[in-house]
Structure 1
Amino acid sequence: LDFSIDELAGNVATGADTLSIALCKVSAPTKEPWLTLSYDEWICVLKGRVLVHHAEGTLEAKAGETIFVSKGERFRPEFPDAGTEYLPVCLPAFRPDRCIREDESDATVGQQVNDMHAKLQVAEVLYHMCSKEDWEKSKADNAAYFPPMFDKDGFTHATSVPSLLLTVANNFYQS
């Protein structure tokens, strides 16, 4: 392959869907098809250069530079130089279903990405620690449960990984 991906953090590497970071290496000039992402991506170039074609033209990032691609933007990355290395940082984490690829005849990168994520299981359950009394009241009222800190924090402290529930709770619920 002319292209390698080593995920350092994310669904494949850590099982976390919050963000993904990968080290990508280009051994021969190549390009991807047009892409539309369901996440924000920062393309941080370490070596070589990356061209990003988009609706208004083409951006070039050289070593030490970063290109930001916002969620929903259609673009086409191109890697004109062998030896190019870059770090894509995706928020939330990369998953194949979050990346619409307009694949052409040479879809080896897309297949490699799909193979990496083939065994990925997307969580359908979210765990949140709460008092039994608060939970029972929400059930009795037939109302959604919101933790006492929700109004102050604006979000619920939760996880889809049961083994991390105490870690999440200990991080946020300290007096």
Structure 2
Amino acid sequence: RQRKAAMARVSTPVAVVDAPSLTINEYFGNVSSDDYRLSACVAEVRDACEEAPQCPSFDEYVLVLEGKVELLIDGSQEPLLVAAGHGVYLPRGTRVKWRWPAPCKYIPICLPAFTPTNCGREDEPGNNHAKTSEAMRRLRELHAFAKYPRLFHVAQRPLWEAAKAKNTVYFPPTYSQDGSFTHATADPAKLINVLNHFYKDLA
């Protein structure tokens, strides 16, 4: 049976990391192209820095375009040096610490696609790593939004229809007593639990 050809698609990069020492633009992956199979990025290091150790659950292929990176594998103090014009393969389950002695530009390709969860990063609050705590917080937000781009809430039909008829904003009956807050969830699998917890007495 003849296999149907996949359609060509242009992907616009998303700046998934924008920290003082490190910028990462994702061209393919969970955030930029909604693809969990593979992520491909262009990373630029602006000055000497290092990353927290990590033990990813993905295979990673790295192409170094400019500068060099030092990789400390499995706690070794003797770095594996990867210079411009070379690449390195890091199989999943490899504990590695990245270190850059100077500016560097490289392309990381991860299979399956990178997420803040599957990278196995040994982070700590207030770190001084290339990916700062603030950069990691934003990275997690980007991935959460890519996974759950909408909020879900259930309205009582008569109240909803009345709001539509009057062309006014809908508010749940408990909006004021809840502190001007509407309870909702981005994960549809949790919607019933949210409704039972906050609105069961209104059913």
Q: How many residues align?
A: 121
CA distance in 1, matches of 2:142, 2:86: 27
Q: How does 1:1-175 map to 2 (within 5 A)?
A: 1-55=20-74, 56=76, 57-82=78-103, 84-104=104-124, 105-107=127-129, 108=132, 109-121=135-147
Where structure 2 has 5 or more consecutive residues not aligned to the other structure, the ranges are 1-19, 149-203
Q: Secondary structure at the match of 1:113?
A: helix
Alpha carbons of 1:111 and 1:48: their partners in 2 closer, same or farther (altered >3 Å)?
farther
Alpha carbons of 1:116 and 1:29: their partners in 2 closer, same or farther (altered >3 Å)?
farther
Please identify, of 14-23 and 57-66, the stretch whose mean Cα deviation from structure 2 is larger.
57-66
1:101 aligned partner, one-letter code: R
CA distance in 1, matches of 2:118, 2:142: 14
Q: Secondary structure at the match of 2:144?
A: coil
CA distance in 2, matches of 1:66, 1:112: 29
Runs of 4+ in 1 over 4 A off after TM superposition: none
How far 1:114 moved relative to its partner? Answer: 2.3
Identity within the alignment, %: 31
Alpha carbons of 1:4 and 1:116: their partners in 2 closer, same or farther (altered >3 Å)?
farther
How far 1:112 moved relative to its partner? Answer: 4.7
- Structure 1-normalised TM-score? 0.64
Instruction: Say which structure is richer in strand.
Output: 1
Alpha carbons of 1:6 and 1:58: their partners in 2 closer, same or farther (altered >3 Å)?
same
How far 1:106 moved relative to its partner? Answer: 2.1
Query: Which residue number corresponds to residue 154 of structure 2?
Result: none
- Cα offsets for 1:66-112 (capped at 9, x unmatched): 11111011010111112x10000000111111011112422515345
Q: Secondary structure at the match of 1:51?
A: strand
Where structure 1 has 5 or more consecutive residues not aligned to the other structure, the ranges are 123-175
How far 1:115 moved relative to its partner? Answer: 3.9
Provide the alpha-carbon RMSD of the alignment. 1.6
CA distance in 1, matches of 2:107, 2:139: 15
CA distance in 2, matches of 1:52, 1:116: 27
Q: Secondary structure at the match of 1:24?
A: strand
Q: Secondary structure at the match of 2:92?
A: coil
1:74 aligned partner, one-letter code: R
